[in-house]
Amino acid sequence: MRRAGKGLGQLGKRLLLAFVLVAVSSVLVLVAAALIGVDRGVHAAQQADREQLAAAAAAAAAGAYQQAGGWDGADLSRSLAIGDAASARLNIVDADGNLRAGSGNPARGNAGQADSSGQGAVTADVVVDGTRVGAVRVSLGGNGGNGGTRILDVAWTWIAVAAVVALTMAVAASWFVTRRLVRPIRSMTEAARAFGAGNRNVRTAGDAPGELGDLAHALNDMADAVVRSDTERRNLTADVAHELRTPLAALQAGLEELRDGLMEPTPAGLAGLHDQSLRLGRVVADLAELSAVETAALSLDLAPVDLAALAADALSRSEPQLRAAGLATELESAGPVWVRADGDRLHQAVGNLLANSARYCRKGGRVTLKALADGGEAVLTVADTGPGIPAEELPHIFDRLWRGRAAEQIAGSGIGLALVREIVTSHGGTVQAASTPWEGTTISLHLPRLR
């Protein structure tokens, strides 16, 4: 089988493209958001710095005004020094808007006019004893504006580096995830094709992630079930051929002797041929019944059924056969046990179990039926005191056409217990068998209980 996971294929390319597009769009959105945030943050920080600077300069100017008793003679060098230290343009005006001092390129006119620098000036009032005596106007100078630009340049650089790294990691992760998803899908596809082409040994690898791993295991289980079904079909064909071959050979030999005149048609000889034809008819009828039961789940006539009453009715109908075999019977029940089932099919299953007991038990033995409720299950058991079943044969008693060594001398086709299993499983139940050689066998039918 060609190595799975080689290349991405159409699905892998589409997944990779989708992952990359999502990664690129996400990085672009984050880059844009980061740039906008940095820009706004820088401007907000500059505005806060201007406000603090104006407030400090206004406080120093108010102190100078109060110390000199007016603007005339007031030492405003401290306020100007504050502006110079921050590389800002600072103008001090009196209450009438006349310029008293300034740094950088002094603005002309009153304090309400825009600064020629265009850097978003901030004005702070100079207040002495609760009276506004002037104002300080501050705007960032060339160096201040360049500082904000330098911050933005640094932010651009780091954001670009981070975007490239994020895109590289996103593409690498997308490639890894895509290969991780596509490889098991390709493996399952190739395994399915090989299986369909006749290679019944091929299986998919079970190391896929999550639901893909579950799907791989489910495909392997399905392949195992198909192989088992093929094996059972071949075995069934061989078993049916074996069961039909013996009566057909006997009929053919007897009829050839009659045709060639080697034997006279006596009543005993014809009776022997008739017995072979009856045996052949029983095998064919049992196979037809098994086929009907295997498809019964599609046509079950479900209704509430009292399992205890059904057991009592089945026992009464089989009473003559059991009495003729010299067996005593007993029915144990604590009351109604309701299930939702097809009463005729369940009656058939219990009848087959009782017929087996009549066929295999020794005279003087006993057959006991029990119907009881066990939690969410309804359980019906058929126990006898027959010869039992060897431990190595017990797992096979429900197989089609299987007959143990003890049954070689007893008439039968080996289909009765297979019918029982098919009927019970079609109702969503299970059938179990327990046996001790020379002490007896117990068959238990477990069905969902109707509450």
- Which residue in this structure is represented by tokens 């238990």? 444
Lowest mean pLDDT across 196-210, 235-249, 258-272, 419-433:
235-249
Amino acid identity for residue 168 in this structure: T
Beta strands in 12-75 (DSSP E): none
Report the distance separating Cα 338 and Cα 379, nearest Å. Answer: 10
pLDDT at residue 309 in the model: 93
Residue pair 136/79 in contact (Cβ under 8 Å)? The answer is: yes
Residues 343 and 345: their CA atoms lie apart, in Å, by 6
- Residue 260, token pair as written in the block: 């060639």
How open is the CA angle 423-443-282, to the nearest 5 degrees?
55
pLDDT of residue 339: 94
pLDDT confidence of residue 51: 85
Taking the alpha carbons at both ends of the chain, their separation in whole angstroms is 53
Which residues have a Cβ under 8 Å from the Cβ of 74 and sit 6 or more positions away? 61, 64, 65, 67, 68, 100
Find the range with the poorest average confidence among 109-123, 356-370, 371-385.
109-123
Residue 323 has pLDDT above 80, yes or no: yes
Average the pLDDT over each of 12-26, 42-56, 250-264, 434-448 and give the range with the smallest value.
12-26
60-74, 167-181, 338-352, 353-367: which has the minimum mean pLDDT? 167-181
Find out whether 403 and 418 touch, Cβ atoms under 8 Å: no
Collapsed DSSP state (helix, strand, coil) of residue 156? helix
Tell me: pLDDT of 159 over 90.
Answer: no
Cα angle, residue 361 at apex, residues 354 and 306 outer, rounded to 5°? 20
**For residue 103, what is the DSSP state?**
-
Q: How high is the pLDDT of residue 148?
A: 58
Would you place residue 102 in the very low, low, confident or very high pLDDT band (cuts 50, 70, 90)?
A: confident
Task: List, in sequence order, every residue forming a beta bridge with 101; answer none if it has no partner.
Answer: 92
Alpha helices in 69-141 (DSSP H): 77-85
List, in sequence order, every residue forming a beta bridge with 446; answer none if it has no partner: 379, 430
Instruction: Tell me the longest C-alpha to C-alpha distance in the chain.
Output: 160
Give bridge partners of residue 135 from the DSSP assignment: 93, 125
pLDDT higher than 80, residue 144? no
Residue 363 above 70 pLDDT? yes
Strand partners, 113: none
User: Any residues with CB less than 8 A from the CB of 265 and at least 6 apart, and which?
Assistant: 258
* 292 confidence band (pLDDT: 50, 70, 90): low
| Tokens encoding 76 | 């405003």
- Segment 196-213 shows an average pLDDT of 77
Structure tokens at 433: 């068998």
- The chain-wide mean pLDDT, for the chain, equals 79
Q: Which of residues 260 and 233 earns the better pLDDT score?
A: 260
Helix (H) or strand (E) holding 392: none
Candidate from 24-38, 78-92, 116-130, 141-155 with smallest mean pLDDT: 141-155
Contacts of 91 (CB under 8 A, 6+ apart): 99, 101, 102, 103, 106, 107, 111, 136, 137
Residue 145: which pLDDT band, with cuts at 50, 70 and 90? low
Rounded CA-CA distance 413/428 in Å is: 26
User: Which 3 state secondary structure label does DSSP give 412?
Assistant: coil
For residue 381, CA distances in Å to 10, 78, 171, 441, 447 come to: 59, 109, 65, 10, 11
pLDDT at 147: 56
Residue 141 φ/ψ, nearest 5 degrees = -85, -165
**Residue pair 209/30 in contact by the 8 Å Cβ criterion:** no
> Which long-range contacts does 34-41 make (Cβ < 8 Å, 24+ apart)?
34/155, 34/159, 35/155, 35/156, 35/159, 38/151, 38/152, 38/155, 38/159, 39/152
Is residue 113 predicted with pLDDT exceeding 50?
Answer: no
